[in-house]
Amino acid sequence: MLKDSGSTWKASDQDYLQVFHEQNPWHETGEVPDAWARKVERPLANALWQRLLHDDPHRFQIILGPRRVGKTTTMYQTVKRLHQSGISSDRLWWLRLDHPLLMQIRLDVLLKSIIKLAKATTAQPVFLFLDELTYAKEWDLWLKTFYDESWPVRIAGSSSSTAALRNRRIESGVGRWEEQYLAPYLFGEYLSLTGQQIEVPVRDSLSETISACIESKISARNLEGPRRKLLLTGGFPELLIRGSDAASDETSLLLQSQRILRSDAVERAVYKDIPQAFGRVENPMMLERVLYTLAGQVTGLLSPQNLCQGLDGLARQTFERYFTYLERAFLVFSLANYSGNESSKQKRGRKIYFVDGAVRNAALQRGISPLNDPDEMGLLIENQAAGHLHTLSQQGQVRLYHWRDKNDEVDLIYDQPEYPLAFEIASSNSHSRGGLHQLVQRFPKFKENCYIVSPISPSIHPRNSPDQIGTVPLDVFLLAVSAQAERELSLSLC
């Protein structure tokens, strides 16, 4: 049944059938194990099964996101949902493609065997879940073949790297698959996980949603504790659930998170995921040093020249390539300086953030320092706000920037064409508003669209403020962004 002339693994059909059996227990039991498909679903799982079931227009689905963020669990939850909707268990197939045996066989050979075993037809296709998709050799070309030749299969895959964004993957993927970004938990989703869900009046745009939150007087009382726990633990479901089950204090949560994330999210990304996705990395230890250096620069302007000097004279070209690797492995992201002119946006200083601040703490092995240093906690709060907006920008396809002109600066620019917003993340409501005022003078479209965001800000709309700069509590801001991101995700999968 399974024959591949290019394989060096001398395995029998029985060996492969054993792997299939182990990875697809529902074929025998009729149930997806609860330990694999946790009861509390992520928003992506709640929508993805419907997208695969209706498959209109026909597209494969690829889930991208950081390590430990829940991609595998989300796919198991999707399997369970499909089964509950009436899809028979023998049409639901799972392959973990980093399995040593499956890595030896071409993807088309595996798929032909599954189609045969499932007796799949166009009317009764196989739903195939490919965990760690990019471990399959020439995966993109095989997906292209499956799509173009109308194989009787609907596919969802996962990857911890955006290898799919390399040039030839872009060409293969156009009109054939959609990429779904699974971010670390946002604040609203975390509150739902812990049974503290707060209803947010979601509107068509973030600007309207924030306005609705201000008008409805959403209370942000008693939310500082959960927000700090999310910030220190990181938005990774296994860590959050573990922290919720045990009455752990901040110190133990912080140290536990750093230990686990350093081993899995940092070291595995640098030494396994990136080389696997992008080819041999000539100096992985230098790549790790680049990550640590960036961690020390979080929320600051990126100066490759200065950083390279501190990295033993690392070549600028190598630094930029390594930075791209870290971005595509979902460890960091950068924001270009807003200019209002598309041709010049990418030519000026970038600002550096981590996708999750807990990974930054793990990379630097900061221990309990963030608990005792208000300045460092301020950096992490800004990173948390930026990370939330970054997720929303990914879901809604809206550009996110910072702005700096000489001594004037604004932390975050959410450049939705009809409803642009500017945010200054601060530790108190008395923070300087000079940067926001200068931004409005330079770009009038931001008039009445600027906010100071801080843990103790009152809820005031810009039009009700004497200087037309609004204020919003940090927790309300995070809730509004969380709810808007969930809405955009749902719309993209309709």
Torsion of CA 406, 411, 413, 414, to 10 degrees: 170
Largest CA distance in the chain: 77
pLDDT of residue 382: 97
Q: Taking the mean position of all CA atoms in its chain, how far away is CA 314?
A: 29
Q: Which amino acid is at 475?
A: D
Using alpha carbons, list the distances in angstroms from residue 104 to 4, 16, 205, 420, 437. Answer: 9, 11, 48, 50, 60
Question: What predicted TM-score, i.e. pTM, was given to this entire model?
Answer: 0.92
Structure-token pair, residue 156: 């969802």
Closest of 371, 378, 405, 399 to residue 258, by C-alpha:
371
Residue 207 identity (one-letter amino acid): S
Strands in 213-299 per DSSP E? none
- 54/118 Cα distance (integer angstroms): 20
Tell me if 125 sits within 8 A of 152, measured CB to CB.
yes
**Residue 127's CB: how many other CB atoms inside 10 A?**
23
The phi and psi torsions of 152 (rounded to 5 degrees) equal -80, 70
What is the DSSP code (8-state) at residue 379?
A: H
Q: CA nearest 303: which of 326, 328, 274, 323?
A: 323
Domains of the chain: 13-182 (3.40.50.300), 188-492 (no CATH)
Give SS3 for 441: helix
Q: Is beta strand 450-454 parallel, antiparallel or unpaired with respect to 177-181?
A: unpaired
Tell me the two tokens of residue 359. Answer: 């990974």
469 in helix, strand or coil?
A: strand
- Buried b / exposed e along 431-459 (16+ C-beta atoms within 10 A): bebebbbbbbeebeebeebbbbbbbebeb
d(CA 162, CA 330): 8
Tens digits of per-residue pLDDT, 57-83? 999 999 999 988 999 999 999 999 999
Q: What is the pLDDT of residue 5?
A: 44
CA distance 43 to 51: 13
Amino acid at 440: V
Instruction: Tell me how far apart the alpha carbons of residues 301 and 489 are, in angstroms, rounded to a whole number.
Output: 30
Separation in Å, CA 427 to CA 235, 256, 379, 385, 455: 22, 27, 10, 12, 7
Per DSSP, the residues of 347-372 read GS-EEEEESSHHHHHHHHT-TTHHHH
What was the pLDDT predicted at 249? 76
Upstream peptide bond of 100 is cis (omega within 30 degrees of 0): no
pLDDT score of 344: 55
Instruction: Give per-residue pLDDT as tens, 117-174.
Output: 999 999 999 999 999 998 888 999 999 999 999 999 999 999 876 654 454 566 677 8
Identify any residues that bridge with 425 across adjacent strands, giving them in sequence order. 453
Q: How far apart are CA 240 and CA 229, in angstroms?
A: 8
**What is the rounded end-to-end Cα distance, in angstroms, of the chain?**
38
pLDDT of amino acid 277 = 78
**Burial label, 405 (beta-carbon count in 10 A; 0-12, 13-18, 19+):** middle
- Beta strand ranges found along 182-313 (DSSP E): 301-302
Q: What is the spatial distance between Cα 82 and Cα 198, in angstroms, rounded to a whole number?
A: 28
* Helix/strand/coil for 472: strand
Structure tokens at 468: 């037309």
Mind listing the pLDDT tens digit of every residue in the chain (494 residues)? 565 544 444 567 888 889 999 999 999 999 999 999 988 888 999 999 999 999 999 999 999 999 889 999 999 999 999 999 999 999 999 999 999 999 889 999 999 999 999 999 999 999 999 999 988 889 999 999 999 999 999 999 998 766 544 545 666 778 999 999 999 999 999 999 888 989 999 999 999 999 999 999 887 778 999 999 999 999 998 888 876 654 567 788 788 889 999 998 889 889 988 887 787 788 999 999 999 999 999 999 999 999 999 999 999 999 999 999 999 889 999 999 999 876 555 546 899 999 999 999 999 988 888 888 999 999 999 999 999 999 999 999 999 999 999 999 999 999 999 999 999 999 888 899 999 999 999 999 999 999 999 999 999 999 999 999 999 999 999 999 999 999 999 998 87
Q: CB count, 10 Å around CB of 272?
A: 15
DSSP H helices, 55-138, are: 71-84, 107-118
Compute the distance between CA of residue 328 and CA of residue 159 in angstroms, rounded to an integer. Answer: 11
